[in-house]
Amino acid sequence: MTQLKVAVGPMLFLWQKELLEQFYERVAQSTADIVYLGETVCGKRRLSRLNDYLEWAKMLEQAGKEVVLSSLALLESGAQLQELKRVCRQSAYLIEANDLAAVQQLHSLGLPFVIGPAINVYNGYTLAKFAQMGAVRWVMPVELSRDWLVALKHEYAGLTDLPMQFEVFSYGLLPLAYSARCFTARHYDLAKDQCELICQKHPSGLMTHSQDGKKVFTLNGIQTMSGQVYNLCEDRHALNSSADIARLSMHDMDDLQWIESFALGTDAKRPDEHINGFWHHIAGMHCQS
Partner 1 sequence: MELLCPAGNLPSLKRAIAQGADAVYVGLNNDTNARHFAGLNLNERQLVEAADYCQQHKRKLHVAINTFAHPNHFTRWKHAIDEAIAVGVDALIVADIAALDFIANNYPHQEMHVSVQASVTNALAIDFYKQFGVKRVVLPRVLSLQQVRQLATTTDIELELFAFGSLCIMAEGRCYLSSYLTGESPNTTGACSPAKFVRWQQQGARMQSRLNDVLIDQFTDDEQAGYPTLCKGRFVVNNETYHALEEPTSLNTLSLLPELLAMNIAAVKIEGRQRSPAYVEQVTRVWRQAIDHAKQNVTDFSVETHWQTTLDSLSEGQQTTLGAYHRKWK
Residues facing 11 on adjacent strands:
none
The residue among 11 and 222 lying less far from partner 1, judged by its C-beta, is 222
Q: Distance between CA 5 and CA 112 in Å, rounded?
A: 20
Give least dist CB 257 to partner 1, A: 25
C-alpha distances out from residue 51 to 46, 87, 102, Å: 11, 10, 19
Q: CB-based contacts of 278: which residues, under 8 Å, 6+ apart?
A: 142, 143, 144, 145, 174, 230, 284
How many amino acids of this chain bind partner 1 (CB under 8 A)?
70
| 172 sits near partner 1 (criterion: CB under 8 A) | no
Between residue 6 and residue 35, which ones bind partner 1 under the rule CB under 8 A? none
C-alpha distances out from residue 89 to 55, 83, 85, 106, 262, Å: 16, 10, 6, 9, 32
Q: Distance between CA 152 and CA 148 in Å, rounded?
A: 6
Listed residue (42, 40, 48, 47) closest to 69, CA to CA: 40
| 90 sits near partner 1 (criterion: CB under 8 A) | no
Q: Is 88 annotated as a binding residue?
A: no
Per CB under 8 A, the segment of 179-187, 232-240, 244-252, 253-261 that binds partner 1 is 179-187
The residue among 163 and 213 lying less far from partner 1, judged by its C-beta, is 213
The residue among 161 and 267 lying less far from partner 1, judged by its C-beta, is 161
| 180 sits near partner 1 (criterion: CB under 8 A) | yes
The residue among 48 and 184 lying less far from partner 1, judged by its C-beta, is 184
The residue among 62 and 180 lying less far from partner 1, judged by its C-beta, is 180
C-alpha distances out from residue 136 to 89, 254, 281, Å: 18, 31, 26
| 190 sits near partner 1 (criterion: CB under 8 A) | no
| Of the residues 118, 131, 173, 239, which one makes contact with partner 1 according to CB under 8 A | 118
Between residue 202 and residue 241, which ones bind partner 1 under the rule CB under 8 A? 206-214, 216-217, 219, 224, 226
The DSSP code for 31 is S
Q: Is 199 annotated as a binding residue?
A: yes
Residues, the chain, total?
289
Q: Distance between CA 259 and CA 154 in Å, rounded?
A: 29
| 84 sits near partner 1 (criterion: CB under 8 A) | yes
Can you say which residues are annotated as belonging to the binding site for [4Fe-4S] cluster? 42, 182, 195, 199
Give residues in contact with partner 1 (CB under 8 A): 73-78, 80-81, 84, 99-105, 118, 120-126, 129-130, 141-144, 148, 151-152, 154-155, 174, 176-183, 186-187, 191-193, 206-214, 216-217, 219, 224, 226, 277-278, 281-285
